[in-house]
Amino acid sequence: MLKFKTRLKIYLGLSAGIIVLFGATIALSQDKIDIEQFISPETCGGCHAEIFEQWENSMHNLAHKDPVYSRVSQFLRKGLINEGEIQEAESCVKCHTPVGHLTGFPEKLSDDLSKTPEIATKGIQCDYCHSVETVKRMYNNGLVLKPGQGEDDPGIKYGPFDDAEPDFHEALYSKLHTQSQICGTCHNVKHVSFGTDLETTYTEWQNSPYNSKDPAKRIECQGCHMYQRPGIPSTGSTPRPENPGSATEYSEERPHIFTHYFVGGNSSVPGTFDGHDKDQMAVERLQNAATISVDISLIEQKKLNIIVTNTGAGHSIPTGVGDLRQVWLEVTIQDKANKTSFQTGVMNDKHELSKDAVIFRTVFGDEKGNPVVNIAKAKKVLKDNRIKAKQSVIKTMDLPFIPKKDATIIARLLYRGMPQKILNLIPGKPFKPLPIVVMAKVEKRI
Ligand code: HEC
Ligand code: HEC
Ligand code: HEC
Ligand code: HEC
Ligand code: HEC
């Protein structure tokens, strides 16, 4: 091991040398970084107080501590014997504990995570993102960092301003920080051995109308996710007003200060860490992502068309862990007296969804094409019926009867973080059912 490390150092040294020789300006290999070089978010928060409060208990802050992630990842790691599958199951810490992984511990998921240095338990943090100099690969966290030497010599913090003159650290304008790439390299996940696309949020955005050459139509990840604040969901279907203010209490006023809530669809984990405003903001985001409508023109043929449109997300709905997130249709027909005569997409008493439910998601499979729950075994994408940005899908449902006149059709688009079935498989203290959010709802009288 020692030998390998020495060799690696020589190799890195050589490649750095070669880069210098050819006069390249971009550092392509990551220099070795010591954990002491990272400055704690609390220190940054000493001046950037508002930004700190927004980021605290965000899913970035919680990426390492998130109990759903922690228990799911340990569960998926268990019992694997295939080397390629083990490598994937061990790789999680690269994104979920990036400061630790970069500085040497944890190297892998099965390391004793209770020994993770305190600062690394704080997830994706200020000094991690703001030390990013470049990206070497657009998936599996290809960020290349150049942090300072710790609090005595904090070095350069890269950001969106070209005229900042802070007293504590140096500052430099970074175009990368204004672009989707800085997010995309972590929000595109590939199986480390089999190359299967496990998460494709960045690619989905790249292929969406939001990745437009026309600056008036172009919206980066930051354009939605770093404009949101309580009451202002800031999606593709709602206004995204600027957030005037200042980066510290004593800095000059600027037309827009990027918010750091980093809210997605997760409306349960932040709350358990006392971030209730973030739970509510996730609900607001989900409620402004899609619309639903009902077309009854085929009702005499016992058919119902449900149309769902992705109006607000800059990527598919759902995105991220598309094999886990559940976005589904619940359709109810009630007669004149409000008695339910038909229903689909409902849950049983174990909070598991019925088999007939229309779920928008990705399904992974092994080489034989059998569906797999464990991403470590994913060799193929068997199915992906998620709703792409600004696109509509029409689901035709067969009804067991022709609804009577004056019946009401109620269709809802629902969201939850993960199937209860998977949570129920995880040993230990049972998971409480995850909250269900109504993303969109429509009622139609026949
Ligand atoms: C002693 C106060 C202080 C501390 C501590 C501090 N900053 Fe700053 N920072 C400032 C000031 C002042 C500015 C300039 C704001 C402006 O020009 O609007 C600034 C600007 C920035 C910018 C914008 C740079 C640009 O050019 O766009 C970033 C990014 C930043 N800080 C990150 C951090 C991080 C990360 C930490 C912790 C490692 C940190 N700051 C700690 C005072 C501080
Ligand atoms: C996931 C990466 C990420 C994390 C974590 C993060 N930032 Fe930022 N921050 C950004 C990006 C990206 C921008 C610029 C967005 C743009 O220009 O489009 C930014 C902008 C800033 C700015 C400029 C003022 C503004 O908000 O527009 C400051 C100051 C700053 N961040 C400080 C912090 C501090 C302090 C923390 C920790 C509490 C932090 N950041 C955590 C990515 C991050
Ligand atoms: C170092 C890797 C990394 C970078 C860089 C990064 N993210 Fe993340 N992000 C993550 C991880 C890991 C999670 C999930 C943590 C969890 O759920 O346990 C996450 C979660 C999120 C969520 C919350 C998802 C939910 O379900 O609620 C949003 C929104 C988000 N990121 C947006 C962004 C944006 C916007 C940027 C760029 C400014 C960015 N991320 C940069 C790794 C990263
Ligand atoms: C046009 C606005 C918009 C843009 C641009 C955008 N998002 Fe989103 N994002 C949303 C909305 C709305 C949701 C909630 C619906 C959903 O979960 O898909 C969301 C949800 C998410 C989630 C949580 C997904 C889940 O269900 O668990 C993540 C992670 C995320 N976005 C990351 C990103 C990243 C990374 C980018 C850039 C590559 C990006 N977003 C660009 C609007 C946007
Ligand atoms: C390349 C970066 C990256 C790697 C490596 C990675 N993840 Fe993630 N993970 C993310 C991002 C980004 C999200 C947020 C997406 C979303 O919210 O849908 C996420 C979210 C999750 C969530 C959802 C958590 C919640 O609270 O709902 C789970 C579970 C998860 N990851 C498990 C894993 C496991 C297990 C591994 C290792 C086998 C792993 N991740 C490796 C980037 C990564």
- % residues pLDDT > 90 (the chain): 89
CA separation (Å) from 199 to 142, 310, 312, 362, 371? Answer: 15, 18, 19, 10, 17
pLDDT score of 446: 87
Helices (H), 259-415: 269-272, 276-286
pLDDT score of 201: 98
User: Which of 30, 60, 64, 229 gets mutated to test ligand 3 (max ligand atoms within 8 A of its CB)?
Assistant: 60
Q: How far is CA 342 from the centre of its chain?
A: 35
Ligand nearest to the CA of residue 125, numbered in listed order? 2
State the Cα angle at 302 between 301 and 304, rounded to 5°.
105
8 A C-beta contact, residue 159 and residue 251: no
Question: What are the backbone angles phi and psi of residue 377, rounded to the nearest 5°?
Answer: -100, 5
Residue whose structure tokens are 């092994």? 366
Q: How far is the CA of 186 from the centre of ligand 2 (A)?
A: 16
pLDDT score of 13: 40
Q: What is the mean pLDDT of the chain?
A: 93
Tell me the Cα Rg of the chain. Answer: 24
Q: Is the pLDDT of residue 254 over 60?
A: yes
Number of Cβ within a 10 Å radius of residue 299 = 17
pLDDT score of 5: 37
Q: Is the pLDDT of residue 289 over 50?
A: yes
What mean pLDDT is predicted for residues 279-303? 97
Each residue's pLDDT tens digit, 133-163 = 999 999 999 999 999 999 999 999 999 999 9
8 A C-beta contact, residue 35 and residue 104: yes
Domain ranges of the chain: 1-32, 37-283, 289-445
Among protein residues, the one whose CA lies closest to atom 40 of ligand 1: 44
Q: Is the pLDDT of residue 22 over 50?
A: no
96 lines ligand 3 (CB under 6 A): yes
SS3 state at 402: coil
Higher pLDDT residue, 213 or 10? 213
106 lines ligand 4 (CB under 6 A): no
Calpha distance 138→188 (Å, rounded):
7
Among protein residues, the one whose CA lies closest to atom 20 of ligand 4: 264
Question: What are the backbone angles phi and psi of residue 365, rounded to the nearest 5°?
Answer: -140, 165
User: Which of 212, 221, 234, 292 gets mutated to test ligand 4 (max ligand atoms within 8 A of its CB)?
Assistant: 221
Q: How confident is the model at residue 30 (pLDDT cuts 50, 70, 90)?
A: confident
Q: Is the pLDDT of residue 36 over 70?
A: yes
Ligand nearest to the CA of residue 413, numbered in listed order? 4
pLDDT score of 2: 38
SS3 state at 245: strand
Describe the strand order of the beta sheet including 362-365 as a list of residue ranges.
371-372, 362-365, 380-384
pLDDT score of 113: 98
Q: How confident is the model at residue 239 (pLDDT cuts 50, 70, 90)?
A: very high
Each residue's pLDDT tens digit, 202-219 = 999 999 999 999 999 999
Q: Is the pLDDT of residue 89 over 90?
A: yes
437 lines ligand 3 (CB under 6 A): no
Q: Is the pLDDT of residue 242 over 70?
A: yes
Among protein residues, the one whose CA lies closest to atom 13 of ligand 4: 313
Q: Is the pLDDT of residue 332 over 50?
A: yes
Among protein residues, the one whose CA lies closest to atom 39 of ligand 4: 221
pLDDT score of 28: 62
Ligand nearest to the CA of residue 208, numbered in listed order? 4
Each residue's pLDDT tens digit, 341-380 = 999 999 999 899 988 899 999 999 999 999 999 999 999 9
Ligand nearest to the CA of residue 62, numbered in listed order? 3
User: Which of 260, 262, 263 gets mutated to test ligand 2 (max ligand atoms within 8 A of its CB)?
Assistant: 260
